[in-house]
Amino acid sequence: MVQIKTAEDIEAMRPACRHAADTLVMIEPYIKPGISTDDINDLVHEYTVKAGAIPAPLNYHGFPKSVCTSVNHVVCHGIPGGKKLRDGDIVNVDVTSIINGWHGDTSKTFFVGEPKVRARKIVEVARKALDIGIEAVCPGATLGDIGHAIQSYVEGEKCSIVREYCGHGIGRVFHEDPQILHFGKPGHGLELRQGMVFTIEPMVNIGKAAVKLLDDHWTVVTRDKSLSAQFEHTLVVTENGCEVLTRPS
Ligand code: MF3
Ligand code: CO
Ligand code: CO
């Protein structure tokens, strides 16, 4: 069942979405060689609870930390740990905050120090893939239109789109209907309506699309160990397009 949110619901979601966006702004200056992903987790956790918000990942289906940190060939759901980031790494920081029971979900891939050519490329393609997906959103468009726009851009750049993980409806529930696939056919799938709220969060690999789940049951990596990057926003379908709720202020 795909919910339609009221204008009041949207207002109620703004604080959580704004907080998640602000968290990415807060963390950016700390992303330097030598910081560990545990350090990132601690900074995000403190920043969140100090604001009276709840970090949604913590204990979500048993996830052990307050944020996901996905380094280099990690596609998503990386678990923060003691390993230090090194010059040339890329790291996706995926923040989901809960305020007054409502969720806001956003992520960004950062360069650690000076990026190499391939890192620059995949991060640029992932960022643009999200922008192109957002541009496809308006009432009357379909989920297939979004997926197709993202897929055709990414494949045109000779990169690949991960199939196993997708965007999602969001609100009082972290992951709800509909699923937002980042590939598809124009005109196929659910028709978008004003008041639908969901994330778009394409995971883009510089090599092949195939992924595998590590033994920790969370960390998803590219099978060929190639670099993967991701950006995510939470948005609402408006009368004539969409509004990104996790745009940093
Ligand atoms: N924030 C991720 C998403 O974009 C989900 C993380 S679930 C967790 O949907 F348990 F790993 F935190
Ligand atoms: Co999400
Ligand atoms: Co997320």
pLDDT tens for 124-133 read: 999 999 999 9
Closest CA to 115 of 72, 162, 54, 179: 72
Stretch (H or E) spanning 7 = helix 7-27
Residue 249 scores a pLDDT above 90: no
Contact partners, residue 84, CB within 8 Å, separation at least 6: 33, 34, 35, 36
Q: Structure tokens of 87? A: 């010059």
The residue to mutate among 17, 60, 203, having the most atoms of ligand 1 within 8 angstroms of its beta carbon, is 60
Residue 74 near residue 162, CB atoms below 8 Å: no
Based on the number of CB atoms within 10 Å of its own CB, is 16 exposed (0-12), middle (13-18) or buried (19 or more)? buried
- Ligand 1 pocket mutation pick from 96, 182, 234 by most atoms within 8 angstroms of CB: 96
Say if residue 64 is preceded by a cis peptide, omega within 30 of 0.
Answer: no
Q: Give the whole-angstrom CA distance, residue 55 versus residue 16.
A: 10
- Cβ neighbours for 8, distance < 8 A, ≥ 6 positions apart: none
Question: Residue with structure tokens 């202020």?
Answer: 249
pTM: 0.99
Q: Is 64 exposed, middle or buried (0-12, 13-18, 19+ CB in 10 A)?
A: middle
Cα(85)–Cα(71) distance, integer angstroms: 8
> Helix or strand or coil: residue 206?
coil
Note whether 235 and 244 are within 8 A (CB).
yes
Give tens-digit pLDDT for 142-198: 999 999 999 999 999 999 999 999 999 999 999 999 999 999 999 999 999 999 999
Please give all residues whose beta carbon lies within 6 A of any atom in ligand 1, as ranges: 57, 60-61, 63, 68, 77, 94, 96, 105, 199, 201, 232
What would the pLDDT profile of 199-225 be if each residue is shown by its tens digit?
999 999 999 999 999 999 999 999 999
